[in-house]
Amino acid sequence: MTRMVRILGGVALAALLAVPAVAAENKDIIDYRINLMKTLGEQASAMGKIAQGKVDNADNLAIHAQTIALNVAAAKKAFVPKVVGGTATQAVWDNWKDFNDRFTALETAANDVAAAAKAGGLDAAKPKIGAMFTCKACHDIYRTKTN
């Protein structure tokens, strides 16, 4: 690598890592938590394909369940800044404890499924998957119905 390329690379990296002088924009905060929720949707859908026997990939069940648990842990933090918007309502921050407890319940259920899948495969995990269906109940309370 030439010196010039190294310097340019360093500058680009510095720009990426630069800590902005101002707080994150509200749009970025909303986009970020939506990124996480979309991941949750994709992982839940992938898990469903395995649980319903539509794809034969039982070894991945624990991975998807663990990914969901980790993603929920990240989502809890992503919702800390009080920014009403996207499809999240004011109720999230008015009832923060209930909202957060619902995420914790999902995280616990996902970890249970992962543990059962690792120990006993699909048959052991299947009866535990129902406890992960916490999505709609939370959405009904904490999202607007517009999407």
2 or 146: whose CB is closer to ligand HEC? Answer: 146
Helices 135-142 and 96-129 cross at an angle (nearest 10°) of: 160
> Are the C-beta atoms of 117 and 127 separated by less than 8 Å?
no
13 or 45: whose CB is closer to ligand HEC? Answer: 45
Residue ranges in contact with ligand HEC by CB under 6 A? 30, 33-34, 37-38, 40-41, 44, 86-88, 92, 99, 102-103, 106, 132, 134-135, 138-139, 142-143
Give the C-alpha separation, 41 to 59, whole Å: 20
> Are the C-beta atoms of 139 and 99 separated by less than 8 Å?
no
Q: CB of residue 67 vs ligand HEC: minimum separation in angstroms? A: 11
Q: CB of residue 33 vs ligand HEC: minimum separation in angstroms? A: 5
